[in-house]
Amino acid sequence: MLRQFQRLLKPVQVRSLVAVQPHEILKINKTATLKEITFAYMALAKVHHPDYGGDPEEFRIVNHAYRAMKTKFAQGLEIADAKTSPYSVDADFYILGRDETEWEAKTNKILNLFREHLVLSRGSGQAGRDEFADFELKLLQAPHLTDGFTSFYCFYLHSISVNKKLQLTTLKLLDFAIGKVFYVHLEDKLCKNYRYYILEEDDFIEVTLDGLSKPIYVGHDIPIDYQNIEQSKHPLVADIVDEIYYFLDDE
C-alpha cells in the first residue's frame, strides 16, 4: 500500500505542475482569449494524447492546464477593448520610446515623408490606392528612407508612458499610411482585462490588441527606460519589454 502511494505521488511531475503556470504549459499568454486557449490545447492534444501515440501523463498535464485556463477565463473580469484617441495626456514616466533626439528625429522623418506624399497625392488628382502602391514600392526599393521600416499597414509604437495621477498607461501610435498620431490610454484598474497577442518576427514585434483595427509594430531599436519599467501595472507592457530583452540577449 505504501509503495503504491509513493508511485502515485510522482514528485517530479507534482513539482512541475506547481512551478509551471497553466498558460506556460499551453505556450500562450496568461491573458489569452478563449479562442487562443482552445487552439493551443488542440495543437498540444494532437501531440500528447495517447490515441496519437503520446504520453498519458503529459496529456494529463496539458488537459489540467486547459481546464484551469478555461475556468480562469470564465471567472475572469469583463474584457476591455482598447480604443484610439486623438488626445494625449501628460507623461510622468516613459517606459519605451523616451524623449530622445535621435528617436524623435527617426519617427518624425518617416511621418513627414508619408505626410508629404499625402499632400502631393491630393493635388495630383490621381487614384489614391494605385498611387500609394507606387509610393510603397519606392520605399521598399529604398529602405533607408524609412530606416528599414516597411510594415506600412501597422500602427508604429512611438512610446509607452505612464500618468500616475490619472492611473493611465498610454501608447503613442503613429499611423504612417494616413499621416496621423493616435493615443491608446489603458486604465490601470482594467490592466488584466485587455486581451492581446504578441508575434515575434526577425527584427520587430507585432502586437495585436483587442479593439484596435491594426496590429502594432514594435521595433527592437525603441529606447527603453530601465528604471521605469515597474511604473506600469499592465502585463502587456511587461511582455513587450520581455520580448525585446529576449531579442537583445540573443544578439
Q: How far is CA 225 from CA 84, 165, 237, in A?
A: 24, 20, 12
Can you give the pLDDT at residue 94?
93
Q: Cell 500528447 maps to which residue?
A: 48
Can you give the pLDDT at residue 142?
63
Structural domains of the chain ordered from first start: 2-75 (1.10.287.110), 84-250 (no CATH)
Q: What are phi and psi of 5, to 5 degrees?
A: -65, -40
Q: Cell 493635388 maps to which residue?
A: 123
In angstroms, the CA 169 to CA 185 distance is 6
Whether the pTM exceeds 0.85: the reply is no
Can you give the pLDDT at residue 105?
81
Can you give the pLDDT at residue 146?
65
In angstroms, the CA 109 to CA 105 distance is 6
- Per residue of the chain (251 residues), what is the pLDDT tens digit? 434 433 333 333 333 434 578 888 888 887 777 778 878 888 888 888 876 778 888 888 988 888 888 776 666 556 778 999 999 999 999 999 876 777 888 778 877 777 777 766 654 445 445 556 666 677 666 666 666 666 777 899 999 999 999 999 999 998 887 888 999 999 998 888 888 888 887 778 889 888 888 899 998 888 888 888 889 989 899 889 888 887 766 55
If 0-12 CB within 10 Å is exposed, 13-18 middle and 19+ buried, where does residue 135 land?
Answer: middle
Give the count of beta carbons closer than 10 Å to the beta carbon of residue 86: 8
Whether the CB-CB separation of 63 and 42 falls below 8 Å is answered with no
Residue 174 C-alpha cell reads as 503613429
Can you give the pLDDT at residue 165?
94
